[in-house]
Structure 1
Amino acid sequence: MSSKVTLVGAGLVGSLLSIFLAKKGQQVEVFERRPDFRKIGAVGGRSINLALSDRGWRALKEAGIEQTIKDIALPMYGRMMHDTEGELTFQPYGKENQAIYSVSRAVLNEALMDVAEKKHGVKFNFNQSCENIDLKDIEATFENNEDKDNNERETIKSDVIIGADGAFSAVRGHMQRMPLFNYTQYYLPHGYKELHIPANEDGSHRLAPDALHIWPRHSFMLIALPNTDGSFTCTLFLPFESDKGNKEAFENLNTDKEIMNFFETHFADVIPIMPTLLEDFKQNPTSSLVTIRCSPWAYKSNVCLIGDASHAIVPFYGQGMNAGFEDCFYFNEFMKKQLEKNGSIDWKKMFEDFQDERIPNANAIADLAIQNFIEMRDRVADPEFLLRKKIEAKLHEKFPTRWIPQYTMVTFSHLPYSYALNTGKKQEQIMNEIMKKENIENNWENLDWEEIVAKLDN
């Protein structure tokens, strides 16, 4: 027996989830407050490139659209570090041929909607703002925001409402009024601004296209991800306000001179390849970075949250989209179990299983993402950090199943995020002891590898 499902939000997670729901025979209809992205050529002003890794690919494969997305993605095999002198250092992400994939948010979103709509018959409704959710009667009220003079409202009755409407979810906003609903939000003192490196005249990339480029500068950094058209999407992460130890902040970059002085001092090598630097810096918005946690994610058998609506994270592990897609994968797995067991879906039990599986792991990747921000901006260019990575790589080579680097666990495996977080803490303690050894930079290859990995097993 199929259920009528109202899905709020046609972003990446909502569009992918609609495919899973439709493939399981559910009557799914999607409502999105923004216009049809495919007609306006952008996704709500947020076109930061995303990094698809194993968790995301598993969900796309299960949905039957892996190859469709591979055609619009570029592999990145490691970090290319740029120092202040323009010198380059390459740090591979994993073993040979392991890569994360750069993909445009807008292009990916359009591809997912096309598959949902054309292959699976999902109906999308755009310019529909969610104005009210009746949790008990399972009703959602939407207002047409396309015509300001005629804000027509419609109330939709459903069997299930799912909120996939992002970090500032309207569905979650109504759930927050429930007793015993827990919610926190935490803003980093840093913001971000998108910049652009165009392709060469012949369409080729101006930087190596098979790496994620990072300019780490301790309290701030610049990153660049390749696009299939030869360009790079760049993001500057910088504090909003200056403090005693550091004057570099968005609040101090107001005039052309201030902006150019900042880049000449810290990112001189990008100036020749960013012809629209000043224009982009002044025109593109400065956005904030928020971590959102909540519980429960569901109300009875009526309403459930998924993706950023339930666990928005900062982008520094490249796992925001991957975690959301992994939500969809597990949502689908629990639907599958219900259908195999009962022939229909017990939504209350399904929601309980789903949030029991996902909430601890969503909290773990939120912690990991903030932790990785510190690593990316402060540590990746540090010689001691690079030696630690060499030692860890050797341990992984000798004991591939007993010592798995935390980055590998998060990015190139399906191990729970909570396991990666807790195991990473143990590894860090062990590595701290190793790094204290006398003359370790010269003697590291003579370490007792079996003794080290045995400590992890204890």
Structure 2
Amino acid sequence: MKHVAIVGAGLCGSLLACYLGRRGYTVDLYERRPDPRVTGAERGRSINLALSERGLDALRRIGLDEQVLKDALPMRGRMVHPLGGETNFQPYSLDGDRAINSIGRGALNDALLDAAAATEGVTIHFERPLTALDPALGTLGFADGSQAKADIVLGADGAGSATRGLLMAYAGESFTETVSFLDYGYKELTIPARDGDYALDPGALHIWPRGTSMMIALPNPDRSFTGTLFWPNAGTGSFASLGSPAAIERHFRDQYPDLLELIPNLVDDYRHNPVGLLGTVRCAPWQLLGRVALIGDAAHAIVPFYGQGANASFEDVVELDRCLDATGDNWAEALPLYERGRRENSEAIAEMALANFVEMRDKVAAPFFKLGKTVEHTLERLLPGKYVSRYELVSFSTTPYADVRRRVKRQHQVLGWTAGALAALGVAAVARRVVRR
């Protein structure tokens, strides 16, 4: 049985180690950071995750779903906080019962690391940044001067993947990479518990849409919320323009007045928590020589606005496992098959995530948007199984992302034709009334 090296012990790498260990492989899992179960999460870098059916399906297959959900909180819809208006709740599903699950990245990573460490054949090595890789020989070099060798090397080391960079250096012009950054960044704030309870409804993802910017907040088991600002990097009302305590407080008083009393450490959090980058990573190929490959964000990082980054990475693991089954663990066949099976889907969710940013930022508070959601749920009720919203297909099913995109396009075409026909009937009816007069 082959020896596998996985670079990156984040969410995807840890889950992948569990899957491969259970297949009987000897797995060495290398991580550049110290053990996060000991050191804790870096300040301002927790970003809560919205774990939905795709991620749960991957966990369920190896019996980890119930354990992970103990640290999760279900969110059944969006609670929209418009400026100068009443909050309104928008359920995610037709019946209002389906939920995405808020879970801290750190808590999920710790659970997956524990599971990987408990899996026979898996060894985890911390503080081992990858600095060298020879895909032909399967040799790896690390910052401390140590080396390792494996039959298969899998890069699961995130959007800033060292593995991807080393593959690009090895392959030269035959390897392409594009990183498209938004002119937006993110910064985290903490909304603490209030009088021992949640300061906001814990059954919802809270969103403050402000046209060119927004804030969201997700609940935590300790009754706090993790808030995340998604603001422009430059210009008026941007991260660059707000530096002094007075300017920060003034901006929140103007744009987020309900949050001022809910975030007692607002100025300190804002000034000391870092601004993170938001971007989309694309590269090709994802694998070389049938023995080295990229997986998860290392292959296809996306912006977080559909809550699908971790879910999509977990689906990669399931797909690779399926390809190993289909090829009898022939990695030279399985890795190209995995890439073919996931590439179109990764492109589809990258596109949908960017589109959802515009929806969350600009549209959710608009009366027309709320009317559209009402119509959508009405169609789902009238046409059960035939009309399903994009959000439900993405979040509450394992329908491939590319199939979701195609299906929603067809549904919208039918809606357009129906609307046109109804409009024509309306005009005809008016014309008949005019003629009768």
1:105 matched to 2:89: no
Find the counterpart in structure 2 of residue 148 from structure 1: none
1:275 is paired with a residue of what secondary structure?
coil
**Cα distance in 2 for residues equivalent to 1:274 and 1:293:** 37
Q: Partners of 2:185 and 2:54 in 1: how far apart?
A: 27
- Which position in structure 2 is the counterpart of 1:369? 353
Q: Which moved more, 1:308-317 or 1:78-87?
A: 78-87
Cα distance in 2 for residues equivalent to 1:168 and 1:21: 24
TM (normalized to structure 1)?
0.89
Structure-2 residue corresponding to 1:185: 179
How many angstroms apart in 1 are the aligned matches of 2:339 and 2:119? 29
Cα displacement string for residues 68-100 of structure 1 (whole angstroms, at most 9, x for unaligned residues) = 101110000000000112621000001331000
Structure 1 residues 117-154: Cα deviation after superposition (integer angstroms, max 9, x where no partner): 0243521111111001101111111123xxxxxxxx11
1:209 is aligned to 2:202: yes
Residue 84 of structure 2: aligned partner:
85
Q: Look up the match of 1:36.
A: 35
CA distance in 2, matches of 1:312, 1:409: 21
For residues 378-416 of structure 1, what are the alpha-carbon distances to aligned partners after superposition, in whole Å with 9 as ceiling and x for unaligned? 111111111111111111112222211111111111111
Shift of 1:208: 0.4
1:422 is matched with 406
Task: Please report how far the alpha carbon of residue 250 of structure 1 lies from its aligned counterpart in structure 2 after TM superposition.
Answer: 1.2
Question: AA paired with 2:217?
Answer: A
Tell me by how many angstroms 1:59 deviates.
0.1
TM-aligned CA deviation for residue 282 of structure 1: 0.2
Partner of 2:224: 231
Aligned to 1:285: 274
Q: Distance in 2 between matches of 1:433 and 1:270?
A: 44
Counterpart position of 1:159: 151
Aligned: 1:170 with 2:159: no
Identify which of 312, 323, 327 aligns with 1:334: 323
CA gap of 1:80–1:436, structure 2 versus 1, over 3 A, is farther
Aligned to 1:150: none
Aligned residue in 1 for 2:287? 298
Q: Is the 8 A contact 1:388 1:431 kept in 2?
A: no
2:246 to 232, 253, 257: 257
State how far apart, in whole Å, the 2-side matches of 1:273 and 1:159 are: 53
2: CA distance between counterparts of 1:227 and 1:423? 35
CA–CA distance in 1 between the matches of 2:164 and 2:279? 16
Give matches, 1:445-456, under 5 Å. none
Verify: 1:220 aligned to 2:213, yes or no: yes
2:276 partner SS: strand
Structure 1 residues 431 and 280, CA, compared in 2 at 3 Å: closer, same or farther? farther
Identical aligned pairs, as a percentage? 42
> What is the number of residues matched between the two proteins?
423
Q: Deviations for 1:129-186, whole angstroms, at most 9, x for unmatched residues?
A: 1001101111111123xxxxxxxx1121110000000001111112223342222110
Give the conservation status (yes or no) of the 8 Å contact 2:44–2:187: no
The TM-score normalised by the length of structure 2 is 0.93
Q: Which amino acid in structure 2 is aligned with residue 24 of structure 1?
A: R
Q: Distance in 2 between matches of 1:225 and 1:45?
A: 14
| Unaligned runs of at least 5 residues, structure 1 | 145-152, 340-344, 441-445, 448-458
Q: CA deviation at 1:248?
A: 1.7
Kindly provide the amino acid, as one letter, of the partner of residue 198 in structure 1. P
One-letter amino acid of the structure 2 residue matched with residue 414 of structure 1: T
CA RMSD of aligned residues (A): 1.9
Moved more, 81-90 or 25-34: 81-90
| Alpha-carbon distance, 1:435 to partner | 6.6
